[in-house]
Amino acid sequence: MPAQSPVGVPGGQSSPRFRGVGECVSGRSVRLVLGVLVLQTAFVLSCVGAFRDPVPHRVPLAVTAPTTRIADDAFYQLALLPGEPVDPLRVGDEAAALDRIHGREVDGALVLSRSGTADLLLVASGAGPLLAEELARHVTTAERHQGRTVRVRDVVPVAPGDKRLLSSFSLVVGWCAGGVLCASAQAYGARRRRPAGLRASSAMGVQLMYSVLAGLLGVLVARTLLGAVPGNFWALWALGSLLVLTVGALTLALYEWAGAAGIGLALLLVAVLGVPSAGGVYPTELLPPFWRAVGPSLPPGAGLDAVDSIAYFRGAGAGGPLWTLLAWAGGAVVVLLGGVLVSRSRPPAARVTRRP
């Protein structure tokens, strides 16, 4: 008995409409869509997990010591605060405390009165306005337990166009997004081949030129045009270029070794983990343990720390973040060079193309 054809379709052939859908929705397309769905869900989870309950933890706080008894009382009350919100450090006087703040060694300073019970709390909103607010709240609580009062003075205020450090954060996120997108465009535009040999050199050359332009345009928009992010123009330009190059080189390196999955890994590191743990509105000291631990070691977090150092602290504290970015960039270049050498060592017949 002959097989019955689909209703309304003579000869057993499928409808052109459904045949077109089947041709478009391939197994590879389904895998890519599922991968995007996983990354999206992970990004939501990471953002909500990082920002849902900001709690300060061991915020470095300098404390002056006019007399031993008053200093001991202050340390005792600060140590009793639940959750260890502050990490007190003794300094000699207000001038020493200011030096520590401007050097990014501490986030605030409690200057105890030499006579009386009215003390002074120095904060630096340039390191995070919400961090300064939380620090003031906890120190005020500790002072109240001693029957003392405290007034707050902001010694490193934020720029008018960057009141919550959102402009700095947006600048860093834009630079990171540009690095990933430029590298991804090169990967997918390489005629479905891996960037080996001359292709890898060409890709890095394009990435370098793009990074210089992207760093310049970012500073021109955020600093010159909008006046939102202060700081030295040349230092911000150099930092932005390094950040874009780092993220782009990382994306190219992961693509070299894992194809399309490598771009997904780059997005996982930069967007899913890196952006929420960078802090933004909530500095690192306010994030939950996991994000607080990984944030400074990922490119977005290191980039934001460096931008804030340049914008508000004349570059103090930028050394560590810059070394972090250089380490990521250097590692990515090594991976790319390793891929080139492996590709060249294969016999011509073994050099198969890989679809991105």
Q: Write the CATH number for 130.
A: 3.40.190
Residue 244 lies in a domain: yes
DSSP bridge partners of 91: 64
Residue 3 lies in a domain: no
Residue 50 lies in a domain: no
Specify the number of domains making up the chain. 2
Residue 1 lies in a domain: no
Which mean pLDDT values do the consecutive 10-residue runs of the chain (356 residues) have? 50 52 65 88 92 89 76 67 83 93 95 87 95 93 86 95 92 97 84 54 89 98 96 98 97 87 93 93 91 96 97 96 97 81 57 47
Residues 135/142, Cβ–Cβ less than 8 Å: no
Residues 249/336, Cβ–Cβ less than 8 Å: yes
Rounded CA gap, 295 and 278, in Å?
5
Same domain, 193 and 153: no
Residue 73 lies in a domain: yes
**Can you give the residue range of the structural domain that contains 139?**
59-157
Residues 162/194, Cβ–Cβ less than 8 Å: no
Same domain, 145 and 165: no
Give the number of other CB atoms < 10 A from CB of residue 129: 20
Same domain, 83 and 207: no
Q: What are phi and psi of 119, to 5 degrees?
A: -105, 175
Domain boundary among 157, 174, 195: 157
Residue 355 lies in a domain: no
Same domain, 331 and 215: yes
Residue 5 lies in a domain: no
Task: Look at residue 4 in the predicted model and tell me its pLDDT.
Answer: 53
pTM recorded for the entire structure: 0.85
Same domain, 302 and 238: yes
Q: Which ranges constitute the DSSP H helices of the chain?
A: 16-24, 27-51, 68-79, 94-102, 129-145, 166-188, 198-219, 233-258, 260-267, 275-278, 289-294, 299-312, 319-345
CA within 13 Å, CB half, 91: 24
SS (H, E, C) 150-188: EEEEECCCCCHHHCCCHHHHHHHHHHHHHHHHHHHHHHH
Task: Look at residue 8 in the predicted model and tell me its pLDDT.
Answer: 47
Same domain, 149 and 170: no
56 Cβ contact partners less than 8 Å away, ≥ 6 residues apart: 83, 85, 86, 131, 134, 135, 138, 285, 286
Residues 266/180, Cβ–Cβ less than 8 Å: yes
Structure tokens at 202: 């060409």
Domain boundary among 157, 177, 201: 157
Same domain, 165 and 266: yes
Residue 207 lies in a domain: yes
Residues 321/296, Cβ–Cβ less than 8 Å: yes
Same domain, 214 and 311: yes
Residues 64/111, Cβ–Cβ less than 8 Å: yes
Same domain, 124 and 254: no
Same domain, 142 and 169: no
Report CA 8 to chain centroid distance, whole Å. Answer: 57
Same domain, 168 and 274: yes
Same domain, 181 and 325: yes
Task: Look at residue 200 in the predicted model and tell me its pLDDT.
Answer: 72
Domain boundary among 134, 157, 180: 157
Rounded CA gap, 20 and 23, in Å?
5
